[in-house]
Structure 1
Amino acid sequence: MTEKRKLTLKDIARELGISISTASRALKEHPDIAEDTIRLVKAYAEKHHYVPNTLAVNFRKNRTFNLGLIVPELVHHFFSTVISGAIDTAKKNGYNILVSQSNDILADEVMACRTMLASSVDGLLISISNETVEGVHLKEFLEEGKPVVQFDKITDHLNTPKVIVDDFNGSYMAVKHLIGQGFRKIAHIRGRTEVKNASERAMGYKQALLDHGLELREEWVKGCKLIHEQEGYDFCKELMESKNPPDAIFCITDLVAMGVLKYLKEKSIQIPEQVGVMGFSNWKLAEIVNPGLSSVDQHGYEMGQKAVLKLIDLIKNHDVENDEIIELKTNLIIRGSTTSTKNSDKVTLQ
């Protein structure tokens, strides 16, 4: 059986005895076209299931109205909220989003970028992998005149707009909250040293301890490589089995904090009476676990919105040399993992 040929504007014009331009303007309800002609053309198009060739139209405009979006992980609460914000905002502005993931591996990120370029996206949104440093492959977009907007995980080696959260202040406020709840021996399970947002969170942690006269012990700082739940579990085990265990643990992400909670529960260590736990990103899971996990809200949906609007603005203005920083404010979501009526060491901090 042969495939049915797609109806074209030329077909409509020939069948109705009008010019192609008249058929095109009638479908757009142009004021110069008579109402009867508009009704006739639209009725014929609807009856024969005419679908406009947007690809050809966009080709003439030298635009595809497609945006590329690359994240480290698709199955990740924070990035899924970013993607939702990006897709909703793009749709409202007449754009589509093509989504891919790097698996936090540089080689996969390079391949995803090359695929996006081959697909002729108008611009790229990206949260870089843990292995990405200079982002040479991203400069290929700029050389093609296609703007790039980085978000969340970024590199300063690339001269592009960046949409970030105030990681330093979010971390600082999280640790300050723990101190206010009476915790004095606060550990940190951090991210990779070469990743900018992980470093900002680690600096916020250290500064909060210094500003409140608490001890900073290197053996209380553990470094993740994969940022997985198992790392949280393993590092919590190390910390709690050490000669000088902490009384609170601040984690680089909620996923790592889930591993910490799992270990503490297995060992029947009371949360937060014996050990307080604080996460970062405010996953949906943080509400569901018992006790609820206190966390720093990164506002992923808003980040996706801001990143798309910035990228569209760059596309419209043919601007690829732009290093604007858009910083979103974080806020603490306090739940049961850090608050206890039994804690008599609570203090009020200014």
Structure 2
Amino acid sequence: MSERRKLTLKDIAKDLGISVSTASRALKAHPDIAQETIQMVKDYAAKHNYVPNIIAVNFRKSRTKNIGLIVPELVHHFFSTVISGSIDEAKKSGYNILVSQSNDFLADEIVACKTMMASSVDGLLISISNETYDGDHILEFIDEGKPVIQFDKILEKLPVPKVIVDDFEGGYSATKHLIDQGCKRIAHIAGRKDVLNACERMKGYKKALNDHQIPFKEEYIRYCESISEEEGEQFMEEFLALPNPPDAVFCITDLVALGVIKALKNKGISIPDQIAIVGFSNWKLAEIVSPSLTSIDQHGYQMGVVAVRMLIQKLEDKNFEIPDTLELKTRLVIRDSSVKVKA
């Protein structure tokens, strides 16, 4: 590499045979990085006169007052509320939000990131796709002196702040509510096994069962790939075909719960008397579907507000300390789909 060109994190990572995220964390002496790696990276950076852009350009003197926001799906109710919160909060400080979607594909996410970078956004808010396991394309923003905030669906190893909800507690309270209604055979239509928030909801479900001496049974578990209404309908039909079908279902999202409701109505099964249902996200449609859907509110609007507020604080004050993780609490919203009449 020519010494006349500014050394980047990507250059350091490539020359040392490590990932960009490891190089970034090593320069910050992150406790998860081995001391030998930290020293190796720092020595290399010193030898080649590496100066992080975050210092060199002071977050860039010429601001566009634009913030990039990348979500998996624009039409998803939760993400639309995040977008609304982000836009409302950004306007208060004179910032604009540029929105893009990844369609839950890594390739589309990378293109969206490059487009945001080309548009010279001042910073980035991102909820990663289901296919994102290495965030080098996201760390390029940090290398260019642009702060990044992850929200909802996150990559833990990325050394950037995160805004999440307590998915474990959400899964726990949904399952406990069904247990409190007298349900004993509680199924869970889960998200993908490799997605962090889905895994946390599953852990909460298992913990609630264990705390109430109800055995966990694999036959009552199904895993979504696309998190769709069709999967909810299909998996509910599979549950009904079991010798001992469940008497309740906790769904990874409200959209999946809609498919469950459809399958039960087609079979003439009473909700919640025969099978109770709890969703997750608290979509607007949860109030109007029949029966109305009990759901876990994950506060999308508030998440958008908080994420933008953190990013702008960092943009306005480069020394502002942002917490590594800011966790919002969920809320159980009880409606008709889960409340069983006591005998």
TM-score, normalised via structure 1 length: 0.79
SS of 2:246's equivalent? coil
Structure 2 residue runs without a partner (length 5+): 1-59
CA RMSD of aligned residues (A): 1.5
SS of 2:242's equivalent? coil
CA distance in 2, matches of 1:327, 1:83: 18
CA distance in 2, matches of 1:79, 1:225: 18
| Structure 1 position 321, deviation (Å) | 9.0
CA distance in 1, matches of 2:241, 2:219: 12
2:147/2:314 contact within 8 Å kept: yes
CA distance in 1, matches of 2:340, 2:282: 20
1:136-170 deviation line (CA, Å, top 9, x unaligned): 21011111111110000001110111111010001
Change in 2 beyond 3 A, CA 1:306/1:153? same
Partner of 2:38: none
Partner of 2:168: 168
Partner of 1:340: 340
Instruction: Spell out the pairing of 1:249-260 with structure 2 (5 A cutoff).
Output: 249-260=249-260
2:313/2:320 contact within 8 Å kept: no
**Aligned AA for 1:153?**
K
Structure 1 residue runs without a partner (length 5+): 1-59, 345-350
Instruction: Spell out the pairing of 1:32-43 with structure 2 (5 A cutoff).
Output: none
Partner of 1:283: 283
CA distance in 2, matches of 1:276, 1:202: 18
1:272/1:339 contact within 8 Å kept: yes
1:246/1:275 contact within 8 Å kept: yes
CA distance in 1, matches of 2:195, 2:321: 23
CA distance in 2, matches of 1:218, 1:185: 11
1:214-239 deviation line (CA, Å, top 9, x unaligned): 02101111000110110111111111
| Structure 1 position 323, deviation (Å) | 5.7
SS of 1:140's equivalent? helix
Identify which range, 131-140 or 300-309, moves more after superposition: 131-140
SS of 1:279's equivalent? strand
**Aligned AA for 1:115?**
T
**Aligned AA for 1:218?**
E
| Structure 1 position 314, deviation (Å) | 1.6
CA distance in 2, matches of 1:294, 1:96: 35
Partner of 2:224: 224
**Aligned AA for 2:159?**
N
1:127/1:152 contact within 8 Å kept: yes
1:166/1:330 contact within 8 Å kept: yes
2:310/2:322 contact within 8 Å kept: no
Partner of 1:54: none
Change in 2 beyond 3 A, CA 1:317/1:121? same
Partner of 1:129: 129
Change in 2 beyond 3 A, CA 1:61/1:144? closer
Matched, 1:215 2:215: yes
CA distance in 1, matches of 2:314, 2:221: 41
1:142/1:320 contact within 8 Å kept: no
Change in 2 beyond 3 A, CA 1:311/1:296? same
Partner of 1:146: 146
SS of 1:280's equivalent? strand
SS of 2:192's equivalent? coil
Change in 2 beyond 3 A, CA 1:127/1:223? same
CA distance in 1, matches of 2:219, 2:114: 42
1:67/1:95 contact within 8 Å kept: yes
| Structure 1 position 289, deviation (Å) | 0.6
CA distance in 1, matches of 2:320, 2:222: 39
| Structure 1 position 340, deviation (Å) | 2.5
SS of 1:222's equivalent? strand
Instruction: Spell out the pairing of 1:88-99 with structure 2 (5 A cutoff).
Output: 88-99=88-99
TM-score, normalised via structure 2 length: 0.81
CA distance in 2, matches of 1:319, 1:98: 25
CA distance in 1, matches of 2:134, 2:245: 38
Instruction: Spell out the pairing of 1:40-119 with structure 2 (5 A cutoff).
Output: 61-119=61-119
Partner of 1:311: 311
Identify which range, 60-69 or 167-176, moves more after superposition: 60-69
| Structure 1 position 134, deviation (Å) | 2.1
1:148/1:320 contact within 8 Å kept: no
**Aligned AA for 2:125?**
L
Task: Give aligned-pair identity as a percent.
Answer: 63
Aligned positions, number: 285
CA distance in 2, matches of 1:135, 1:202: 25
| Structure 1 position 318, deviation (Å) | 2.7
**Aligned AA for 1:295?**
S
**Aligned AA for 1:338?**
S
CA distance in 2, matches of 1:76, 1:87: 16
1:192/1:223 contact within 8 Å kept: yes
CA distance in 2, matches of 1:143, 1:116: 14
SS of 2:188's equivalent? strand
1:67/1:125 contact within 8 Å kept: yes
